[in-house]
Amino acid sequence: MTKYLVTRIFAAIVTVWVTTIAVSMLIHVVPGDPVQIMYAQSQGTTPEQLENIRRSLGLDQPIVTQYFMYMKKLMHGDLGHTIRGEQPVMDLLLLHLPYTLLLAGTALVIAIAIGMPLGFIAAYKRGSWLDTSLMTAAILGVSMPSFWLGLILLFTFAVRLEWLPVAGSGIQNLVLPAITLGVANAAIIARLTRSSMIDIFDQDFIRTARAKGLPRATVLYRHALRAGLVPIVTMIGMQFTYMMGGAIVVENVFGWNGVGRMAIQAIFQRDYPLIQGFILMFAIIVVIVSVLMDLLYVRLDPRIRYR
């Protein structure tokens, strides 16, 4: 177990390290001169000023030197400053990240609360009309683009019924974006729960439990559900990271104050340091979540033992 843990964490560190290389090279893969692009809208910027800016960003150094400079700063928790040299990127990410985590977390709870019971019912009633209609609904849920669903919910609950506000970052504002993000993922969880449970229902140990006369509820919840949970939990971990990504779209629809909306603005303003910081932060979150999920997987399924 310890060895597995060490290997897993080592792999995670390597992943993050490779990301830092990719991120620090981002500025060089942009077609054209990045400084010229950043300052394209300023009239009358002289070549000398552009040269100064290039120097202050370290862009006049060889690429390898630039990478080491980037890493040195990164080790001190310094992700640089926004393009006009004003705000520390780290501060901005930390300011907006909690909103995105809150949104993705709430959406995940909604997705689980809807998806798991429905998937379970569909599996239990396999082949029935109920199963077919639930799975049809799930396909609809998966295929609906979240910005479209978001706008439908917005016009229904905020404009027509006036139950909820349109946009903002208060607790009432959380409801619609969390549902938007949760519904599509509920569909995925429902489908996964269904197939996982169907597998389990067919297994010998379930038949044995039934045969020895255990109450149906005990068989379903204690025996089947526990065993069926393993792949679902792993999937849910991945779902959480997808939701963080999906939050970018949803935040922009609902004006939610998260990192996603900030990232879109940063892209419009060609704020490279901020975009770099955003990508790196995202990669780290994905890596951490996947390590945690792997560990949980081991905890949940006693058959899995790594040596």
Partner 1 sequence: MNAKLTMIATASMISLLSSGVASMAGDIVWARDGDIDSLDPQRATSTLSRQLWYQIYDSLLEFNDKGEVVPNLAKKWAVSPDGKEVVFTLNDGIKCHDGTPFDADDVKWTADRALSEENPSLTKASWGPVVAVDKVDKLTVKFTLSKPFGAFVPFMADEFTGMLCDSNAKSAGFGVSSAVGTGPWKFEKWTKGSEIVLARNQDYRNFGRPVENPGAPHSDRLIVRTMPEAQTRLAGLKTGELQVIVPPIQDVKDLQKNPDVDVHIAKSTGQNMFLEFTVHRPPFNDVRARQAVSYALDKDLALKIVFGDLVQRELCPVAQGVFGHDEEFCRKFGQPHDPEKAKELLGELGYGPSNPMKMVMATWPGDSREKVLQVFQNQLKQVGIDASIEVMDIGTLNARVKQENEKAEGPGFMDLMGWTWFDPDVLYLLWHSPGAYNGYTTPELDRLLEDTRTEVNPVARRAKVQEVFKVLLSEAVHVPVYTPGWLWIFAVSKKAPGFKIGPFDRPLFSDVKF
Locate 5 and state its tokens. Answer: 């843990």
Q: What are phi and psi of 81, to 5 degrees?
A: -115, 160
Residue selected from 191, 194, 223, 261 as contacting partner 1 according to rule CB under 8 A? 261
Residue with smaller CB distance to partner 1, 13 or 95: 95
Classify the C-alpha dihedral 144-145-146-152 as positive or negative: negative
Q: Using CA atoms, how far apart are residues 284 and 217, in angstroms rounded to an integer?
A: 41
For residue 99, state whether it binds partner 1 (rule: CB under 8 A): yes
> Helix, strand, or coil here: 301?
coil
For residue 297, state whether it binds partner 1 (rule: CB under 8 A): no
> Helix, strand, or coil here: 60?
coil
Locate 30 and state its tokens. Answer: 């942009």
Q: Using CA atoms, how far apart are residues 112 and 100, in angstroms rounded to an integer?
A: 18
CB of 302 to partner 1, least distance (A): 23
Site string for partner 1, 101-140 (x = CB under 8 A): -x--------------------------------------
Q: Virtual CA dihedral for 273, 274, 277, 281, nearest 10 degrees?
A: -170
Q: Using CA atoms, how far apart are residues 99 and 222, in angstroms rounded to an integer?
A: 36
Site string for partner 1, 214-243 (x = CB under 8 A): ------------------------------
For residue 255, state whether it binds partner 1 (rule: CB under 8 A): yes
Residue with smaller CB distance to partner 1, 68 or 155: 155
Nearest to 192 by CA among 239, 245, 241, 127: 239
Query: What separation in angstroms does the CA of 213 have from each of 5, 59, 102, 197, 280?
Result: 41, 74, 45, 20, 54
Nearest to 106 by CA among 22, 178, 193, 51: 178
Contacts to partner 1 from residues 146-165, by CB under 8 A: 147, 151, 154-155, 158-159, 162, 165
Site string for partner 1, 27-46 (x = CB under 8 A): ----xxx--xxxxxxxxxx-
Locate 215 and state its tokens. Answer: 């109450």
Residue with smaller CB distance to partner 1, 239 or 252: 252
For residue 282, state whether it binds partner 1 (rule: CB under 8 A): no
Residue with smaller CB distance to partner 1, 4 or 157: 157
Residue selected from 189, 262, 280, 287 as contacting partner 1 according to rule CB under 8 A? 262
Residues within the interface to partner 1 (CB under 8 A): 31-33, 36-45, 49, 82, 84, 86-87, 92, 95-96, 98-99, 102, 147, 151, 154-155, 158-159, 162, 165-171, 173-174, 252-255, 257, 261-262, 264-266, 268-270
